[in-house]
Amino acid sequence: MAAQTDKYSILLPTYNERKNLPIITYLIAKTFDQQKLNWEIVIVDDASPDGTQDVARELQKIYGEDHILLKPRTGKLGLGTAYVHGLKFCTGNFVVIMDADFSHHPKYLPEFIKLQREQNLDIVLGTRYAKNGGVYGWDLKRKFISRGANLFAKVVLAPGVSDVTGSFRLYKKEVIDTLMSEVKSKGYQFQMEIMVRARAHGYKIGEVPIAFVDRLYGESKLGMDDILGYVKGVLSLLFI
Ligand SMILES: Nc1nc2c(ncn2[C@@H]2O[C@H](COP(=O)(O)OP(=O)(O)O[C@H]3O[C@H](CO)[C@@H](O)[C@H](O)[C@@H]3O)[C@@H](O)[C@H]2O)c(=O)[nH]1
Ligand SMILES: [Mg+2]
């Protein structure tokens, strides 16, 4: 049931997203305003040298400090802890986690919300690996690693979802609070661990196919250590 008091907190971790932040904010604001839904964006910026925080402060003037919350940290402390930090400031009863670089396009948000409401889901995840989903802009190596990571987790842990490493997700607030308090990993296996724990809780999960488009500039820092960390992470979850 859709409640008048529903509020959506969009948790946006940023590192050098000065160019992307204004447009992504505009599209998120437009989406929620059109649907007459309460929203806020919680920006967790890790002292980006490109001036992302100056842009965030400008956006606060335009949209209001009740809509744009800036919760910076003093250095680049990583994505996993950025979520933990940002979550403390979310006041909505739903939390959306997404990237700020347009790999996760706001155009999918209405579908996430609709599906959640229809089935009273605990989690809705964006999947690249179901019909009508996809990945664009990655080289073969990164595609292979991502597919391999998902297949490995599927075979070993049977998480029951088609994309365990993606991070475009909508959660009920109490659900993400619970999961975050349990999750141990901080690296690339973070998203996977969340889904495995969600399954262990028996949470109701739905999927929306998304096209993941890689950012135009910069490159991923994914390396051999991350891959080994991921494999260890999957195996360590065998006995939760
Ligand atoms: N605050 C903060 N934000 C960060 C940091 N590192 C990255 N970010 C922000 O987190 C988002 C994702 O970072 P990317 O560097 O663009 O990640 P990616 O390589 O495209 O990886 C994506 O796909 C993976 C799965 O295939 C996902 O696991 C990952 O979360 C992300 O969605 C962006 O909004 C970026 O600005 C950090 O240390 N601190
Ligand atoms: Mg990216």
Per-residue model confidence as pLDDT tens digits over 193-225: 999 999 999 999 999 999 999 986 656 667 888
User: What is the band of 26 on the pLDDT scale with cuts at 50, 70, 90?
Assistant: very high
Residue 2 is predicted with a pLDDT of: 61
Residue 190: CB within 6 Å of ligand 1? no
Predicted structure pTM score? 0.94
Q: How far is CA 68 from CA 11, 60, 130, in A?
A: 10, 5, 33
Residue 186 is predicted with a pLDDT of: 77
Residue 48: CB within 6 Å of ligand 1? no
Nearest to 134 by CA among 175, 105, 110: 105
Q: Which ligand has the minimum distance to the alpha carbon of residue 18?
A: 1
Residue 226 is predicted with a pLDDT of: 87
Q: Ligand 2 centroid to 213 CA: how many Å?
A: 8
- The yes-or-no verdict on residue 1 having pLDDT over 60 is no
User: What is the band of 98 on the pLDDT scale with cuts at 50, 70, 90?
Assistant: very high
Mean pLDDT of the chain: 93
CB 89 within 8 A of CB 71: yes
Residue 73 is predicted with a pLDDT of: 97
CATH superfamily, with its number, for domain 7-237: Spore Coat Polysaccharide Biosynthesis Protein SpsA; Chain A (3.90.550.10)
CB 204 within 8 A of CB 218: no
Ligand 1 test: best mutation among 25, 99, 142, most atoms within 8 Å of CB?
A: 99
Residue 78 is predicted with a pLDDT of: 86
Residue 121 is predicted with a pLDDT of: 98
Residue 238 is predicted with a pLDDT of: 87
Work out the burial of residue 84: count CB atoms within 10 Å of its CB; fewer than 13 is exposed, 13-18 middle, 19 or more buried: middle
- Alpha-carbon distance of 40 to 23, in angstroms, equals 15
Residue that wins the pLDDT comparison between 118 and 184 = 118
Residue 76 is predicted with a pLDDT of: 92
Residue 218 is predicted with a pLDDT of: 59
Counting residues of the chain whose pLDDT is more than 70, the rounded percentage is: 96
Which residues have CB less than 5 Å away from ligand 2 (the ion)?
A: 101, 103, 215
- The yes-or-no verdict on residue 3 having pLDDT over 80 is no
Average the pLDDT over 52-74 and give the result.
98
- The yes-or-no verdict on residue 31 having pLDDT over 60 is yes
Which stretches within the chain are classed as H helix? Answer: 21-34, 52-63, 79-87, 109-119, 140-157, 173-182, 190-201, 224-236
pLDDT in tens, 124-182: 999 999 999 999 999 898 999 999 999 999 888 888 999 999 999 999 999 999 999 99
Counting residues of the chain whose pLDDT is more than 90, the rounded percentage is: 80
Residue 150: CB within 6 Å of ligand 1? no
3-state secondary structure at position 227? helix
